Amino acid sequence: MAAISVAGLRKEFRARIKAAGLKGSLQALVNPVYREVLAVNDVSFAVEAGEAMAFIGPNGAGKSTTIKMLTGILHPTAGEAKVLGRVPWRERTALAFRVGSVFGQKSLLWFHLPPLDTFNLLMRIYELDPAAYKRRRDELIGLFSLEPLLTTPVRKLSLGERMRCELAAALLHQPQVLFLDEPTVGLDIVARQTIRDLIRRLNREEGLTVLLTSHDVGDVEQVCKRVMVINHGQVIYDDSLQALRREYVHTKVIDLKLSTQVEEFASPPGARVVKAKGYGVKLEVDTVSRAIDAVLADILAAYGVVDVNITDPPLEDIITRIYREAAAQ
């Protein structure tokens, strides 16, 4: 069953334009000019219950506008959407009881008070039964290792600690769908990993449906199985992460450690040297023009190899390519 279903969603808005300088300011005052901006253009997709989907795209692609429509904040110009069977912009409050949201750059917690006080406020706001709330709160405290943070004012927590508390706060009312907008922005590597692990765990163990937007490819790779790319308000890719790799990865990277240093590494046909220094050589192989085993056989025949490592190019490169291709079109 689809937790989120979207069909032909479209959002246009008017933006005021003004020429530079005093003359432009006066003209805008007397005769304001607007331009139509198409933020979301005929977007359709469905997210199954329990699925974790990454919703990515460059800045201004339409991600936030789509999420704001799915949480009922914005009304679409055209199209339909249902979240947990409800039309978000018509049943915003009823839906708010069943969905959660974490915005990396907006805090839900009261800055001068310990997280526990915000948790207690949320119990009232979401009208939770006190006993059930305590059970859920203690469960999240254990899961997110929040015990030592509970009585410290939020302003004294590190960003990583704060984000763990933000995430727990968004989950107190046991939402069925969680919208995450840049949940790891600004975090260090360890804190980022902790947040990803927690989201993945909730998705797999509690069946929480996750819709994640992030510019961090690590979030996408480690949390989601499916990825949807949006650009200029349109969906330009929607499939599993595996399919994305299959479809877009036409190259492999070979890292070699040679037994002797060579002056100039002669790359075999179908490969090009990316980097060569001392005993190490990094090659990129175009697997469409030549099979990886043939390239490897050439190398082994010509050089003494101590170690070899074959990898896919980073996901970041693939996504950059998708953005560039879309921009070129």
Residues of this chain that interact with another protein (CB under 8 A) are 11, 13-15, 39-40, 62, 64-65, 68, 71-75, 92-94, 96-97, 99, 101, 103, 106, 110-113, 117-118, 120-121, 123-127, 153
Decide whether 149 or 271 has the Cβ nearer to another protein. 149
Residue among 284, 227, 232 nearest 255 (CA):
284
CB of 40 to another protein, least distance (A): 8
Q: State the minimum distance, in angstroms, from the CB of residue 59 to another protein.
A: 12
- Measured in whole angstroms, the distance separating CA 98 from the mean position of its chain's CA atoms is 21
Q: Which is nearer to another protein, 94 or 300 (CB)?
A: 94
Give the helix/strand (H/E) hosting 241: helix 241-248
Residue (182 or 194) nearer to another protein, CB: 182
**Cβ proximity to another protein, 124 vs 275, nearer residue:** 124
**Minimum distance of another protein from residue 30's CB (angstroms):** 17
The distance from CA 215 to its chain's CA centroid, rounded to whole angstroms, is 6
The answer to whether residues 188 and 163 touch, using CB atoms and an 8 Å cutoff, is: no
229: phi then psi, degrees, rounded to nearest 5: -110, 130
Choice between 55 and 248, CB closer to another protein: 55
Phi first, then psi, for residue 283 (nearest 5°) are -120, 150
Taking the C-alpha atoms of residue 328 and residue 236, their distance in angstroms, rounded to an integer, is 13
Distance of closest approach, residue 136 Cβ to another protein, in angstroms: 15
DSSP lists the bridge partners of residue 240 as: 226
Instruction: Indicate the pairing of strand 280-286 with strand 251-258.
Output: antiparallel
The answer to whether residues 145 and 195 touch, using CB atoms and an 8 Å cutoff, is no
The minimum distance between CB 120 and another protein, in angstroms, equals 7
